[in-house]
Amino acid sequence: MTKRDLVVRISSETGLIQEQVLDVVQKTLDYISEAVAQGKTVELRNFGVFEVKIRKARIGRNPNSPAKDVPIPPRAVVKFKPGKEMRDSVIKLTPEGEAKA
């Protein structure tokens, strides 16, 4: 699903003009991005949590020359933890023959 698909769907369900819906969706995403960029945690109940985690420094390997170690510095990454409702909805996609986590 793209942002455009989301805007069209919300617009058709609410009767609002697509331009207005696009503005609201874009502002929402901008504010979430801004908060995460400041290192804040963004919690959307029944959806999930966006937070910044710091990855530790580690040693990697270049597949083209595996004998050579490549140092990878620590860096900040965005993590998303789905909420309970989303997690429960997604787990239903698990094929019956496979073990459930």
Mark whether 57 and 70 lie in a shared domain.
yes
Mapping DSSP to helix (H, G, I), strand (E, B) and coil, where does residue 39 land? Answer: coil
Domain assignment of residue 48, given as a range: 41-93
> Band of the pLDDT at 58, cuts 50, 70, 90?
very high
Q: The CATH number of the domain where 69 resides is what?
A: 4.10.520.10
Which range, of 20-24, 58-62, 65-69, 85-89, averages the lowest pLDDT?
A: 65-69
Q: In the prediction, which pLDDT does 64 show?
A: 87
CB-based burial label for 7 (10 Å; 0-12, 13-18, 19+):
buried
The residue with tokens 């990454």 is 77
* C-beta of residue 62 within 8 angstroms of C-beta of residue 68: yes
Rounded CA separation 61/67 (Å): 8
Alpha carbon 20 to its chain centroid, in Å, reads 24
SS3 49: strand
**C-alpha–C-alpha distance, residues 36 and 50, integer Å:** 7
Whole-structure pTM over 0.85, yes or no? Answer: no
Residue 99 is predicted with a pLDDT of 54
Q: What pLDDT, on the 0 to 100 scale, is given for residue 95?
A: 87
- pLDDT number for residue 62: 84
Q: Are residues 46 and 25 both part of a single domain?
A: no
Give me the residue label for tokens 């420094």.
57
